[in-house]
Amino acid sequence: MDHSIPGAGAFGIETGAGWVIYTGDLRLHGTRPQDTEAFIREAAGLKPLALVCEGTRPDLGDPATTEGEVLENLRSFYRTARGLVVADFGPRNVVRLLSFLEASTQAGRRLVITAKDAFLLEALRLADPSIPDPLRDPRIAIYGKRRSRPDSWEEDLRQRSDFPRGERWVHSEQIAASPEDYTVCFSYFDLQELIDIEPQGGTYILSSCEPINEEMAIDEQRLMAWVNQFRLTPRGALVDERGFHASGHIDGAGLIRMIETIQPRALIPVHTEKPKFFQQHFGNLMKVIPPTKGDPIDLEAL
């Protein structure tokens, strides 16, 4: 399935009453829309009894920013970027990491990831060899934190990389000496590393969704305080700027097309704050059953 996290998939379960399809998280505006299109065709061919459907972004009139647009916006940004660039995006959003890698490389910068990111990429390569090797790819460096003794898993990464030649692991001193040579992939939880780097200007790109709850809003306020402390220019979600993030979820127009194509006998919306959207758009076409916690849905009765 096309989604912002690798390995996302839908499920079809054949029951005595008929096929039940669960979409999982999906979209049509990423780098693999053909996967979602294939799912829609195959699900429709099963003539399902029920479709359990995600509905994170059901609003109409808000077309999704595509991953291709994000990449083009990053390329445009890097043409005039000065100083250090900090890229902040979801820890498992490998698609976004690859976009930053391509745009940063074209601008003559090296992408610096954390050791945890390197560990994740190396693991994902076992399933998808097209993912860059963080221990061998010359476009990628790994950030070495100041600590007296690294964890055992990190020491293993060091031993298996070209660390002895000093080509793979970079430290705060190297980045501080030549900030325009790097894009560092830090999240909110890595910001203390900026104390060692001490950037004097640059850009902080928050390439993720806007806060969706009070705790995230508080974290964003703290993040902005760090950005201001180091005189970084905020871009992306920090200043409500579109174009640097593509949602992992299908938009309203895509939802309507998908559901009308699959045509289940019953529609069960989940992962949504707007179940009324489904009733308004599909109530005359099929049975819409917003689930209630603890209440079973009788497939035989559909």
> Is residue 193 located within the same domain as residue 292?
no
> Is residue 112 located within the same domain as residue 42?
no
Sort residue 240 into left (φ over 0), alpha (ψ -120 to 50) or beta: left
For position 117, which CATH number holds? Answer: 3.40.50.10710
Domain count, the chain: 2
pTM of the model: 0.91
pLDDT at 151: 86
Higher pLDDT, 216 or 225: 225
Q: What range defines the domain where residue 58 resides?
A: 11-63+248-301
- Boundary residue ending a domain (239, 260, 291): 239
Give CA 27 to chain center in angstroms. Answer: 12
* 164 pLDDT higher than 60: no
Q: What is the pLDDT of residues 95-131, one digit of tens each?
A: 999 999 999 999 999 999 999 999 999 999 999 898 9
> Is residue 219 located within the same domain as residue 76?
yes
> Is residue 36 located within the same domain as residue 75?
no
Domain assignment present for 188: yes
- Cα 222 from Cα 224, distance rounded (Å): 5
> Is residue 234 located within the same domain as residue 254?
no
- Residues counted in the chain: 302
Cβ distance 297 to 287 under 8 Å? no
**Tokens describing residue 295:** 């209440």
The arithmetic mean of pLDDT across residues 20-29, rounded, is 97
Domain assignment present for 2: no
Q: What is the pLDDT of residues 240-295, one digit of tens each?
A: 999 999 999 999 999 999 999 999 999 999 999 999 999 999 999 999 999 999 99
Highest mean pLDDT (candidates 32-41, 54-63, 119-128)? 32-41
Domain assignment present for 4: no
> Is residue 137 located within the same domain as residue 195?
yes
> Is residue 24 located within the same domain as residue 157?
no
* Contacts of 128 by beta carbon, 8 Å cutoff, 6+ apart: 6
Task: Quote the Cα angle for 212-84-240, to 5°.
Answer: 25
Give the up-direction half-sphere exposure of residue 34: CA atoms within 13 A in the CB hemisphere. Answer: 0
What are the Cα distances from residue 172, in Å, to 99, 179, 186?
A: 24, 10, 13
- Boundary residue ending a domain (239, 271, 291): 239
In the chain, what is the straight-line distance between the N-terminal and C-terminal CA atoms, in Å? Answer: 27
